[in-house]
Amino acid sequence: MTRSSPAGDRLAALTLIFGQHPSDLGRWLTVDPEAMPRPYRSLLVHNEHMTVTVEAHHASRVNVRVLEVRREDDWYARKILLTSADTDRVVQFGIMRIDFRHCTRAVEEAVVAAKTPLGRILIEHDVLRRISAESFLRVVPAGELLTDFELAVPVTTYGRLATIFCADEPAVELLEVVAPEPEDVEKAEAASVKD
């Protein structure tokens, strides 16, 4: 993906918040949602909170593990992992940047407390919101993302860039990448042994 594309520019803007170029995390390619295999398509191609979707897919609540935080005036960004509450397995990597001018003080306090996934916070606080998934990505993890997903070899996975509108204002920018499915990891590891 070129940085001069809208998706490339947006991806770079989010990763650069944490001093990383997208290539530090892997290889990224914009894809048509219809080209995404199952279950990745159903995990990502919708206008719902990823928290809810990932919990349904893994039949487990998820916990948030905050890796890094940046704050400037009304803007707050964090790089996170979502983990299964049942197995502690990482199920999603994400970067979110939120403009607190479009949120209540209670939402801001819950986000900054870093104990609850953003989707659950917005649902529990009954925030009037609309989620727009705008770009879909094929990702071959590298560097930190390879480590975060606990992968011995790169395994193709998928993600999306999305916006959450609160009261019709673009309040949250999101990069959400789901962890590779266990069977995809097994295939990639078996293939690497043959090589």
Q: Is 82 helix (H, G, I), strand (E, B) or coil?
A: strand
Any idea which residue has 């290889």 for tokens? Answer: 27
Tell me whether residue 1 is in a domain. no
Q: Does 131 map to a domain?
A: yes
Domain that holds residue 81: 6-194
How confident is the model over 89-122, as pLDDT tens digits? Answer: 999 999 999 999 998 999 999 999 999 999 999 9
Indicate whether 108 belongs to any domain: yes
10 φ/ψ angles, rounded to the nearest 5 degrees: -70, -45
The predicted-structure confidence for 165-193, as pLDDT tens digits, reads as follows 988 889 999 999 999 999 989 888 888 87
Task: Establish if 103 belongs to a structural domain.
Answer: yes
Is the pTM here over 0.85, yes or no? yes
Please report whether residue 140 resides in a domain.
yes
Give the pLDDT band (50/70/90) at residue 2.
low
Q: How far is CA 109 from the centre of its chain?
A: 21
Closest by alpha carbon to 7, among 169, 138, 99, 100? Answer: 138
The structural domain count of the chain equals 1
Decide if 37 is inside a domain: yes
Evaluate whether 177 touches 157 at the Cβ level (below 8 Å).
yes
Structure tokens at 54: 């990932």
> Residue 30 maps to which CATH number?
3.40.1410.10
- Return the closest-CA partner of residue 91 out of 56, 119, 118, 127: 56
